[in-house]
Each structure stands twice: as structure tokens, then as C-alpha cells.
Structure 1
Amino acid sequence: MVRPRHPSTSIGDTAWLLESASDHLAPPASHESDPLAAGAGDGEQIDEDSAARLTGRQKRILGGLSLGGLLAGCCIAIMIPFFPHEAQRRGLPQTYSGAVFSCYALAQLLAFPVMGRLAPRVGVSRLYNVGLATAGVTTTVFGTLPHIQDSMAFIGACFACRALEAVGTAAMHTAARAIIINQFPRSPNTAMSISETLAGLGLSLGPALGGGLYQLGGYGTPFYTLGGLMLVSSATNLWLMPSVREDTLPAAGAPRRGPPGARLLRFLSAAENWLCCSVVLVVAMYVTALDPNIEPYVRVALGVTPAELGLFFLVSAGCYTAASLVWGRLSDNISNTYVLTAPCLLVGAVGILLIPPSPLLVGLQPVWWLTMLGMVVREMTTGGAFIPIMHRMVRVCVAHGMENNLSTQAFVSAVFGAVFSIGNVVGPTLGGYITDLYGFPVAATGLAGFGVLVAIACVVGAVVTRNSLPK
């Protein structure tokens, strides 16, 4: 997920993050105590005595994944500043342009299960590069669509290109998370936080990059530039990223292969996986249920201009990016994931209550700094809630008899992405519906209440499962 919100400079940022990470990715536990450690992958192994720094193999892998995540984040957001205007210029209603954005999450929701099935068959490294190349080609093609004269044909082609972009990025995210869990068995959350930080940075840079390139060269320039960078990155990854192949380590009593639904049934049979999926869902909705509806509210209630609101988003996204690195390192040293997830969800709910502010906060009146404070608090705690969840899901699956291999890791990655996409689809629809009926403050209050309920469930989970999994 990017964040769920958020290139010469981008390569420099990636290098800086990798140099910083190599000093902090120290192993918190031994191979014998980690159910995933033996599945670290093929090729260069982690030296038991000198694993305080990233190996050359790990640096190449994390560099390729981070750069791809940065570009994928830009892909999601690059058209925000100018596409609605282009659609309106053609006489198309706002509903159509909004649907072009919404179809991205829906297409990802449908694609994630397929990618989870494909990953072990075609190879996660190959799937990642094919997904990146697919997103690059469709992004480039999107820049040519204004040559279509008929408005309905134009919007139809936009839907098709946007859906294919989503399929490509779904392949990328499925493969990337599986690779991180597989190749960074002792510090997966730190590695995940670096990848997610770059994806969040892409979401933050996307609108600015898109708007600037649109002003310089017109509609096609942002898409040609980004699509070209994605294609170059895909080609570079053929050298940069070493192959990550299947290395099967069956858990006790686990069948080698089963029918397509057997793995899903085994996953669903673990009650803890339902809790993890609830966390992923609420984190996705923390963002998508509010952000599409916040602009009309702050414009009317606070007189905040779109440019000022953009600054709010930029500041909060920057806080998310910085905090994610801390959460990743911290979560690698906490065996019971829910000890971190529960307070992050609770504090995030408080941030959401501050944004309108909520009617529950009697005496507080809407003011711009309170809104920005709420957004910052929400963003800073989001990473702590969801970054460690996928690793926890893999550990739960292995403990419940699923094979300890790349196929399981890709499957869990696909489930993680699908649940997040459900939040991205349901969030804007449900948030908009409640806002229309009862107003934005009530919608924010309801969302915070959902977060509190899941946080309470995590507190219970922290107590019940405190000794159920090894560190």
C-alpha cells in the first residue's frame, strides 16, 4: 500500500535510505527461533556473524523494489491535478472522471488473488518486472488518449488503461511483499517500511510531478515521462534484482500441494488471520473514507483553499514517511505485533476525531491547525498499525500448518493486497454516503469508532496470543 497516500532526486533518496537501512537491519533472532528464517531464499545467504549490514544481494533487491514502489506511487497520483479538467473539457460529468480513479482499486481487488496464484508459477522476480513493465506501457499509452476524438470512446479507453495499470501494480505489490518476507527473514518489517516509505513518497510527489510536467508539455508529458522511467526501471531490474526462486520447506503435517481452495480454507481457519485482515481493512479506510470528502468540508467550514489543503497533505505525508522507518525498526524487535498495532490504531482514531473535529469532542471548534494536527497524528500512526501485519500473517499461516515457502508468502501478500483494496473500494463509497446523510464530522466519528473496535480486538489478541508464536 502504499501508503495508502503517498526521478533524479528519487534515485538519490533511494540510495540514502538504503545506506541508512544497512546500519539498522540487524537480526533480532536466530534462525532456529524464526519460523521464516530458513526460507530466506536461494543464493547468497546471510552471515550469522556479520549480518548487521545488508548484503550486496539484499541491497540490490531492496533498491529495485524501492525504486519500483516510488514509480508505482507516482503512477497512482500523477493524473490528479489535470485529468478531471481534461474530462470536463470534453463535456464529461465529474462522475466519469471520479470513476476512472475508482476503477483502479477495483481492478487491483480482482487482480490480487490471480497474482497470488501466478507468483510461484512464473517466479516472483519475473512477476515483479512484468508488472512494472505492464504499468509502464499502459501509463505511456494513457498519454496518447487525447487523440481519441469521441468523448465516450476516450473515457472507455481511460478505464481500460487504468485497469491494466492496476493489474501491473498488483503484480508488483504481490511479488514485492513476498520477496521482502522471503529475503529479509530477520528484519522483514524494517525492509517493508523502506519499501512502503518510497511508495508513500511517490504518492506525495505524484501530483506535483504531474502538475509541473503538464504545465511544461501538455497532457501527454507526465505519462510519457513516468511510463518511460518505469520501463527503464523494469529493464534495469533484470540486472539489479537477483532471481528469487521457490525453496519449499513444508511445515509439519502440511500437504505438498492441494486444490486451489485448500490454502484459502486453511488461511481462514486461523482466527488470528481474521484479526490481521481487520487491521488492514481499517487502515485502508482510515485514509480513503475521509480524504475524498475533506476538501468540501474544510473549504466551507474553515475557508481553506485547495493549495492550503495540499500543503496539509504534504506535511502529513512527510510525517508518515519519516515515521514508517521508525515503526519498521521497532516492530522487528517486538514479538507480539498487537502490542504495537493496538495503540497505533487508538492514537490514529484520536487523530481522525480531531480533523473535523468530532461532535464527541465537546467545546472544540473547527480550526485549520486542529485539522492539520489530526491529519499528522493519523498519518504518523498508520505505519505502526499495518507495516508488521503481513509478517504476522505469514507466521500465523506457518504455525497453522501451511508450507514455509515462497508460495505461502506470495499467497499471504495477495490476501493482504486484496483486503487493502477492499478498503480502498468501500472507504470512499461508504464515507461519501455517510457524509451526504449526516455530514463529514459524523462520518469521521464513525470511522474512528471502527478503528477503536479493531484496536480493542487487538488488545485481546495481544493477551490471548502472547505465547502462541516464536519471536
Structure 2
Amino acid sequence: MGRNDYPPQSSPSEENLETSPLLFKSSPNNGGATDEASSSQTTSSLSSSYEDSSPSPDEPEPVVPSPPPLSRSQVCLLVCLSASSLLAGCCTVIQAPFFTHEAHLRGLSSAASGAVFSCFALAQMVAFPAMGWLAPRLGVTRLYTLSLLVAGVTTVVFGMLTYIEGPAPFLGWCLTVRAAEAVGTAAAQTAARTIIINQFPRRMNSAMSLVEGMIGAGLCLGPAVGGAMYALGGYGAPFYTLGVLLLGTAAASLILMPTVTDRSTRTTEKDDSRSSYLEMLILVLSTADNWLIFAALLVAAMNWTAMDPSMEPYMHAVLGIQPAELSLFFLGSFAGYALSSPLWGRLSDHINNTFLLVAACLAPTALGVLLIPPSPLLGLRPSRLLLGLGMVLREPFQLGAYLPLLPLMVRRSTARGLRSDVRGQALVSAVFGAAYSLGNVLGPVGGGLVTDRWGYPTLATWLGGVTVVLCVAMALRGAVYHSTRRTAAPYVEI
């Protein structure tokens, strides 16, 4: 795993500065830095011994002490990451209330406007692996700042597309700018996750829960703020405002984000024979547990992106629910998502076997998915009560299943031999983002096809059934892990 600090090295090379783990520069004025350096040296030696011994995937991780309080530098780092995550969430959905209407005014079909939404997830899926390769070479914090600049500029440009009148040019520019915006957000997410993995090795789930909770808050606020600003200032107002905020966040990150450097944890001959990016990727993809995690990411993404777009037409037809009323259900469920995020983070930081935690969260998630239409298997009639109950169950518990997946992927990949430096951490972050983006690409298309052919309740039945199967698989894997690990004392999972 990444470490908060490492013992100083003598004259690190430029290559080591670009390809080795991140750390904060220690100084007498950096609150808690001395204690963190001491604890990090301990965890660094544990990591060194752990990697050299090449344990089997089911061997337990070393016992580590309770995490120390956050330093001032770490708090500033979380502030920067949280602000950008909030804006990234808004960036994804801010145009949802009005873009289809604007596209229709220019003679574009609903399918064409839908392609603008879909190209975002597709471009992210393609960009994530590239960002994992680029992050250690460009520098993770440098990539983070540049990605915010790209996202801010492309968001402003997207607002200027209102001056393009022809349908074909308008669609072409929308696809191009939206794809560039997706590349920027993919780079930001890769860099942010890599920084979290590296700088919060024993608080990874808690830090990740804060960032993911802010993304959820952005998804809640984005449509509401975008619709209100569109009504007040027209098409460009939401994009100009959000773009300026992203650019301001990029500038603020240069001031607020603590100075970080990349240093080599060890200067041994082993560092001279670093694995190539392809070799590390093969190692990650050859880890069986990671494929179980990929399946969980796909199911999580599709439970959201396959069901939500088709929900309004179905609920309007069977219950007479108008879009404004349905938005209240979404707002309530996303509020549960954001509020439960810190709780899941703290819980998963103190649970040894997160396979079982994921399984425990997938069970109520499946029930929530089945209750929303509801599924014909339940023999219940559609109602607002079941809709609300299903969404309230789905959002928080699916988040509880999602949050431990990245730390779990890091831990299982490291156990298989992936080096615990910034190159490996960036790679895992990129693969994680690509797998989730694949679910975002397949969800709307697959959900629409199933709904058109067999109906919305059938879609919920299929997704609920797949979630149950995944729950059983995670529970079995957790049972195997529990029976084979050898622990001398409880430890905090990272």
C-alpha cells in the first residue's frame, strides 16, 4: 500500500521522483508530521517485508496500529479532493433537465441527444487506462490540476455551443467537447483515487467515502442547479458557472493542496527492473478476486444507469407520477446516499473481511431493486410506498457495497505481487474506473433494450437476480477468506 511518509533518501533520481509513491514533505510546522513519519516507517517496513515474501493471496495482511489523527496537510488534501468531486458530480448531469429540449429545437432526435450523454461514459472508459499510464509519468498532483483545467475549459466551451445553429455541426461539436470533458474527469478521478490510496493507507475507506459522498451530492445538486440557472440565464449560464468554479478549484488546489513529492521507497536493484505497464496490467487482470470486484462494479453501475432512465415513463404510466414528483424520490434517495457515505467508510475501515461486508450490502440492494417496479416475482402491486422503499434501500446499501471495492482491489493485487508504488496504485485506480465506466456504457443501452422488449418490471427482476447471484458469490469468497487467513490479532483493513 502507499505510505504517508518514508525515511529520507539520498539524492533521489529524477526517474524515481516521477514513478515512486507520493508523500507529504515533512516540516516542523506540519502538524502531526513527526508522528506520521514514525508510523509510516513502521508500515513501510511491513510493506517491504510483505512484498519480498510474496505471500499467497489468502494470507492475512500484517497487524497495524490504529490510524493516527489526520494532519493539517491531510485535511487540506481532503478539502481539495472533496470540492473537485462535488463539481465533477455536477458536471456529469448538469445538462440533464434541458439538453434534450435544446437538441430538439435544433432538429435532433432523442437518440441523438442520448448519444451525447452516452459518449461521456464511453470516452471515460477509454481514457481511464491511458490516465493510469500517464499519472506516474506526468506526476499525480500535476495530472490532477491539469485535469481540472481541462474539465473547466471544456465545460465553458460546451456552453458556447448554443451559438451553433445547424443540427449536424451542433451534434458533432457536442460529442467532441463532451468526450474531451470526459477525459478531463477521468484524469481527475484517477489522480484523486491514487492520492487517496497513497496518502491514506489506513483510512482509505473513510477518505474514499467522503469523496464518493461529494460526487453523490453533485449528482443530486447538478440537475436542480442546472435547471434553475437555465431558467434564469439560458443555455450557457449553467456551463459558464460550473466551468469557472472548476477553473477556480484548479487554481485553489495549487495553494491548498500540500506539497507532495514522489520518492523511491527503496534503492535496490529490484527498482532497476520495474515491470512494464502491460505486465502490471496482466497481473491485475490475472487476479481472480479482481474479476469478482469487476462484476460488482458492473452490477452497481447497471443498477443505477439501466433502471433510472426508464423509471419515469413506467411510473407515469402505472402511477401517474409526474417528473417533478419523481425528482423528489431521487432527491431523497441520493440524500440517503450522501449521508450514509461516512458511516460506510468508517465501518469498512474497521472490518477485517470486506468480502462479507459487500455481500451483506448486496442483499438489501437486490431487495430494493426488486421493490421499485415491483418485480412480478413478489406478487405486489406498484405503489408510491414500494417505489420510495425500494429507492431508499438501493442507494445507501449499494454505496456500502461499492465503497470497499477499490481498497479491496488494491489489497488483493498487492497480495499477488503488484508493487505498492504510485505506478501500481495509479494502474489499479484506472482499471477500477474503466470497469465502472463500462457498466455506465452498457446500462442505458441494455436497460432500454430489455424495457422495450419485456418491460420495466422484467428489467428489475433480471438486475435483482444478478445482484443476488453476486451476493452469494461474495459471501462464499468471504467464507473461504475467513477460513484460510491466519491472524494473530484484529487489524484495520486497508
Q: Give the TM-score, by structure 2 length.
A: 0.84
Deviation at 1:49, TM superposition (A): 9.9
SS of match in other structure, 1:186? coil
C-alpha distance 354-95 of structure 1, shift in aligned 2 (>3 A): same
Q: Percent sequence identity over matched residues?
A: 50
1:124–1:244 Cα contact (<8 Å) kept: no
Report the CA distance shift for 1:384/1:34 in structure 2 as closer, same or farther (over 3 A): farther
Q: Does 1:369 align with 2:378?
A: no
TM-score when normalising by structure 1? 0.88
**Unmatched 5+ residue regions in structure 1?**
1-26, 40-47
Residue 245 in 1 paired to residue 265 in 2? no
* Aligned with residue 168 of structure 1, among 180, 184, 203: 184
Amino acid at match of 1:464: V
Correspondent of 2:346 among 315, 321, 329:
329
User: Aligned partner of 1:275: which letter?
Assistant: L
Deviations 1:104-142 (A, max 9, x none): 000000000000000101111111111111000000011
Match among 359, 368, 381 for residue 342 of structure 1: 359
Give the distance between the partners of 1:148 and 1:468, measured in 2 at CA: 62
Q: CA deviation at 1:242?
A: 2.2
1:254/1:403 contact within 8 Å kept: no
Structure 1 residues 296 and 252: alpha-carbon distance in aligned structure 2, compared to 1, 3 A threshold: farther
Q: How far apart, in 1, do the equivalents of 2:42 and 2:287 lie?
A: 21
Q: Distance in 1 between matches of 2:312 and 2:485?
A: 45
Per-residue deviation, 1:50 = 10
Distance 2:460 2:398 in 1: 16
Q: How far apart are 1:256 and its partner, in Å?
A: 3.9
Partner of 1:290: 307
Match of 2:164 among 148, 154, 170: 148
CA distance 1:35–1:391, shift in 2 (3 Å) = farther
CA deviation profile, 1:254-278 (whole Å, cap 9, x unmatched): 9842233101111122111111111
- 1:149 positional shift: 2.1
Give the partner amino acid of 2:302.
Answer: M
| Pairing partner for 1:317 from 330, 334, 339 | 334
Specify which of 300, 303, 322 is matched with residue 317 of structure 2. 300
User: Following TM superposition, by how much is the alpha carbon of 1:38 offset from its aligned partner in structure 2, in angstroms?
Assistant: 6.0
1:62 aligned to 63, 78, 83, which one? 78
Which of 272, 282, 296 in structure 2 is aligned with 1:265?
282
Provide the rounded CA distance (Å) in 2 between the counterparts of 1:60 and 1:296: 44
Please give the root-mean-square deviation of Cα atoms over the aligned residues, in Å.
2.3
Q: Is the 8 A contact 1:253 1:401 kept in 2?
A: no
1:353 — aligned with what?
Answer: 370
Name the larger-Rg structure: 2
d(CA) in 2 for partners of 1:370 and 1:36? 53
Q: What does residue 13 of structure 1 align with?
A: none
Where does 1:72-471 land on structure 2 (aligned, <5 Å)? 72-249=88-265, 256-362=273-379, 364-466=380-482, 467-468=484-485, 471=493
The CA deviation at 1:232 is 0.6
Offset at residue 245 of structure 1 (A): 3.4
1:464 CA drift (Å): 1.6
Q: When the two structures are aligned, how many residues end up with a matched partner?
A: 435
Separation in structure 1 between the aligned mates of residue 75 and residue 333 of structure 2, nearest angstrom: 28
Structure 2 vs 1, CA of residues 298 and 332 (structure 1 numbering), >3 Å: closer, same or farther? same
For 1:255 and 1:292, the matched residues in 2 are separated by: 50
Distance 1:199 1:295 in 2: 23
Q: CA deviation at 1:247?
A: 3.9
Point out where structure 2 has 5 or more consecutive residues left out of the alignment: 1-35, 49-63
CA offsets 1:355-394 (integer angstroms, 9 cap, x no match):
00001102x1000121111011000101110111111111
SS across alignment from 1:465: helix
